[in-house]
Amino acid sequence: MRVEQIYTGCLAQGAYYVESNGEVAIIDPLREVSPYMERAAKDNAKIKYIFETHFHADFVSGHVTLAKNTGAKIVFGPNAETNYEAYIAKDNEEFKIGDITIIALHTPGHTMESTSYLLRDKNGKDYALFSGDTLFLGDVGRPDLAQKTGTLTEEDLAGFLFDSLRTKIMPLADEVIVYPAHGAGSACGKNLSKETVGTIGNQKETNYALRADMTKEEFVKEVTDGLLPPPAYFPLNVKLNKEGYQHIDEIITKGTTALSVEDFEKIANETDALILDVRHQSEFMKGFIPRSIFIGIDGGFAPWVGALIKDIEQPILIVAPKGREEEVIIRLSRVGFDNTLGYLDGSFSAWKNAGKEVDTLKSVSAEILEKEINENNVSVFDVRKPGEHANEHILDVPSTPLDYLNSHINEFPTDKNFYVHCAGGYRSVIASSILKARGMHNVIDVAGGYKAIKKTGIIRAETVCPSTLK
């Protein structure tokens, strides 16, 4: 038996490859399925099952493509309904993979079809739990994504989650390994651990949601307290995962069309395509195509695309570092953005060398910001997450989180310069590019973000532990 976690940091997502005696199960695969097929071929093994823990909201699973390419059976838990062929397991139903057994444990709460998969070794001993978004390390899945108007509330779902944890998961032996679907950085929970593998026993000791003396009322209150609105693309990804989608090879072929400067400009002018520049922020700031948006490929790329570009059908033109165009297309497709029309051949250098109009982004050091704060009545905006802001921030500077920047557009001044910072410089450049595209050319980025600000004499608000906030 071999269990391999295939972790993707950009999405904070764990897929799993389980092999025994020439048969393979894949759990929660990513959109690009060739890595799983290559692993199976290397093992001289056949992919038999594709287990889905639920209809994912934060990424598009590779289940449909993988089933088509391999003939493997897609398995969902009870209550799941799909527009493609899938097997809907019964609670406690067993599936054989070589010498081992995988048991479907219906664990509703995060969603109503949420199912965890218990792996038993060849001796029949419980070995590992693939817990999906039901149980994370340090947290549990948010119960607000599967609400149905007039029927289910987030409190109802939280109640189901409480029962699932206590009747299906907590009775398992302490040594059973926990393999969750996500780690820190995912929007599917509030306080996920940076660790990606744990045990049932450890979670009973450290996870607030598994306290032995916790009442259902206490659980519901704690799990639903402080939930931020989910990213706009979440329901759109759920729809794709339920209904199916275009084969990724077709997406890659269309998206990796190399466009000359003339063709790129023509498409940009004749369509409502968004120009997405994914180079490093330092390169973007030196020069970029006017009205293009920056979201760097070397940061939390896909989740930020999903959070900030509301429509997954949005036509997109790419400006990418040379040689990384296909990577960009694949990572966009992971969150359902399949309508990429092509990329600028020769990247930004080709545009600049063609004598086309170029824009830049102004940036100042934290020391300059300190001088401006002391000498002038300047406006500063903090685009970090609310928890980061609550922990520590510049005195009298409000929280304007990047995730919800579009809801704060009217708060930015149009008659004077203003400054934007994040923690280190990545998110503030994203925010600044969006604001410039909206016509706010008076935005100034703070180089180095809050890390640099802390080294100056800028007065900061007293640190408040987020856990103490009401």
Question: If we measure between CA atoms, which residue out of 384, 432, 385 comes closest to residue 412?
Answer: 432
**Rounded to whole angstroms, how far apart are CA atoms 185 and 298?**
15
40 membership: H or E segment, kind and range: helix 34-42
Question: Looking at the predicted structure, is the pLDDT value of residue 227 above 90?
Answer: no
Give residue 187's pLDDT: 83
The CA distance from 271 to 240, in Å, is 25
Matching fold, domains 246-353 and 363-468: yes
Average pLDDT over residues 55-71: 97
pLDDT in tens, 101-125: 999 999 999 999 999 999 999 999 9
Sign of CA dihedral 462, 463, 468, 470: positive
For strand 23-27 and strand 46-51, is the pairing parallel, antiparallel, or unpaired? Answer: parallel
Other Cβ atoms less than 10 A from the Cβ of 252: the count is 17
| Residue 469 pLDDT | 40
Give the pLDDT score at 467.
43
Provide the pLDDT for residue 249. 93
pLDDT for the residue 185:
83
CA distances for 162 relative to 132, 158, 197, 353, angstroms: 15, 6, 22, 61
Q: Does domain 246-353 have CATH number 2.130.10.10?
A: no
* pLDDT confidence bin for 205, thresholds 50/70/90: very high
Q: Rounded distance, CA 53 to CA 77, Å? A: 7
- Topology (CATH) of 2-235: Metallo-beta-lactamase; Chain A (3.60.15)
What pLDDT sits at residue 192? Answer: 87
Q: Quick one: average pLDDT of 88-102?
A: 98
pLDDT in tens, 372-431: 999 998 999 999 999 899 999 999 999 999 999 988 999 999 999 999 999 999 999 999
pLDDT band at 229 (very low <50, low <70, confident <90, very high): confident
pLDDT at 13 over 50: yes
Digit-coded pLDDT (tens) for 165-182: 999 999 999 999 999 999
Per CATH, the homologous superfamily of domain 363-468 is: Rhodanese-like domain (3.40.250.10)
pLDDT, residue 470, reads: 34
Tell me, what's the pLDDT at 463? 64
pLDDT of residue 149: 54
Q: Give the start-to-end residue ranges of the domains of the chain.
A: 2-235, 246-353, 363-468
Q: Tens of pLDDT along 433-447? A: 999 999 999 999 999
**Per-residue pLDDT tens for 34-53?**
999 999 999 999 999 999 99
Q: What is the mean pLDDT of residues 341-346?
A: 98
The pLDDT > 90 percentage for the chain reads: 90
> Rounded mean pLDDT of 222-230?
89
Average pLDDT, the chain: 94
**219 contacts 157 by C-beta, under 8 angstroms:** no
Query: Residue range 303-312: average pLDDT?
Result: 92
Written as one string, the DSSP assignment of 209-245 is GG-TT--HHHHHHHHHTTPPPPPTTHHHHHHHHHH--
**Among residues 459, 470, 405, 465, which one has the least CA distance to residue 436?**
405
For 264-294, the pLDDT digits (tens) are 999 999 999 999 999 999 999 999 999 999 9
